[in-house]
Amino acid sequence: MADMKVYFDHNATTPLHPEVKKEMIAAMEMFGNPSSMHADGREARANVEDARRKVADFIGAQENEIIFVGSGSEANNTVLSLFVCSSSQCIPGSRRGTIITTKIEHPCVLETSECLAHQGVRVKYLNVDRYGKIDLDQLAGMLGDDVGMVSVMMANNEIGTLQDIEAITKMVHESGAYMHTDAVQAVGKVPVDVRKLGVDFLTISAHKIYGPKGVGALFVKQGIPYCPLIRGGHQERGRRAGTENTLGILGMGRAVEMRKIEMPEEEERLFLLKQVLKKGIEESIDDISLNGHPTDGLASTLNVSFTGVEGEAILLYLDLEGIAVSTGSACASGSLDPSHVLLATGVDAELAHGSIRFSMGRESSMQEVEYLLDVLPPIIKRIRNMSTAYIKGGLHAASR
């Protein structure tokens, strides 16, 4: 059994930053309800607002534009659900009854969109090119008087491709629609400034950036129509009912504070690690292909398709060696369809089944990359040796 532990699944979640952990442990005694007027309540309130300042500062927002929520998924659900509310305060879905999103969004956007479609909202899906970039011409063609909102993720969780949110937002605003970006995988990995981007809504999650799970934030630009998804309380200025997750919020505040310090240098280091990993895989393993944008992507994310092998088998053999990765093969998660993101980029279904996402983070080291490069080639060789994809005179002979 493996003696080295390598965690290359940071896009799934990250370990708590030691500073975050320290601060959360110190705050464990803080139990007050931020809504209470007494000293215990005021202590909790002070810490929640302090965290709000830090999150706002990190993305260039004002404090009153930050709503703490339970997850990135909740934030995304909240934004899209604004659309079907018939209140005059909400986005007038009746007049502009179309939403535009992309084929590579997180399921929390795609499934919510599908649900809205059942409620009469028209939903249009943007295609992406082979690198995962949306087609701006297609967007221009779709935009019109009928479009109320556009939701495009900033960085893709599976392949790391970054979209030009600033340019997209300009187009969207010119057409009179609102702009949302799911920036869960981008915030804390690349610089994000909501004013520069110009977006109306932006989603953040704490646990992708070394903060705790179960807390996220939604940026809502001042003056933009909004109504809560979760009702029945005055918390978050009446925009998200429910007693605040004080400890989580405090942890999130510390997490973004640490990101602000560590991110710039780290991006460069991770990019170098990714180059070594990429080159190492290319040199030691035949019949592979890289997914995602070659330059315009997250420095930490490398997605590789291995011909003739199924992703779950790779994942589990790596697990036996102490290495944690994730797969674009849905077989591991129970569905039979391969990754919708890879299929949208035009990757063949067979290759999509054999895709692995390596996502590195602040603690990832060259030593870990080297260990992975030692272990991976024999595993691929081993799986290919038992694969039908490699029989009778070469590749894919069996399926022809």
246-284 and 18-26 are packed helices; what angle lies between their axes, rounded to 10 degrees? Answer: 160
Give the footprint of other proteins on residues 321-340 (CB under 8 A): 329, 331-332, 334-336, 338
Confirm or reject binding of residue 385 to other proteins (CB under 8 A).
Answer: yes
Q: How far is the CB of 323 from other proteins (least distance, A)?
A: 14
| Residue 164 interacting with other proteins (CB under 8 A) | no
Other Cβ atoms less than 10 A from the Cβ of 241: the count is: 14
With 0-12 / 13-18 / 19 or more C-beta atoms within 10 angstroms meaning exposed / middle / buried, residue 367 is exposed
* Closest CB to other proteins among residues 34, 354: 354
Of 111, 146, 348, 363, the one binding other proteins by CB under 8 A: 348
390 binds other proteins (CB under 8 A): yes
The DSSP output letter for 154 is: S
Q: With binding defined as CB under 8 A, does residue 389 bind other proteins?
A: yes
**118 forms part of the interface with other proteins (CB under 8 A):** no
CB 231 within 8 A of CB 241: yes
Smaller CB separation from other proteins, 136 or 332: 332
Distance in Å, CB of 343 to other proteins, minimum: 11
d(CA 196, CA 73): 24
Where does this chain touch other proteins (CB under 8 A) — which range of 67-75, 140-148, 243-251, 388-396? 388-396
DSSP letter, residue 155: B
Find the binder of other proteins among 316, 367, 370, 374 (CB under 8 A).
Answer: 316
Candidate list 85, 115, 227, 331, residue with the active-site label:
331
Nearest CB to other proteins, comparing residues 262 and 350: 350
Strand partners, 286: none
Q: Restricting to residues 78-107, which ones interact with other proteins according to CB under 8 A?
A: none
Cβ proximity to other proteins, 71 vs 327, nearer residue: 327
> Does residue 142 bind other proteins (CB under 8 A)?
no
Contacts of 330 (CB under 8 A, 6+ apart): 336, 337, 338, 339
1 in contact with other proteins (CB under 8 A)? no
- Say if CB 231 and CB 250 are below 8 A apart: no
Cβ closest to other proteins, residue 42 vs residue 382: 382
DSSP secondary structure letters along 209-239:
GTS-SS-EEEEE-TT-----SS-S--HHHHT
Locus of tokens 């708590």: 16
How far is the C-alpha of 309 from the C-alpha of 319, rounded, in Å? 16
Q: Known catalytic residue: 331?
A: yes
> Is position 353 an interface residue for other proteins (rule: CB under 8 A)?
yes
CA 301-216-114 angle, 5° bins: 80
Rounded-to-integer distance, Cα 366 and Cα 274, Å: 10
Active site residues: 331
User: Which stretches of the chain bind other proteins, using CB under 8 A?
Assistant: 308-313, 316, 319-320, 329, 331-332, 334-336, 338, 348-350, 353, 385-393, 396, 398-399
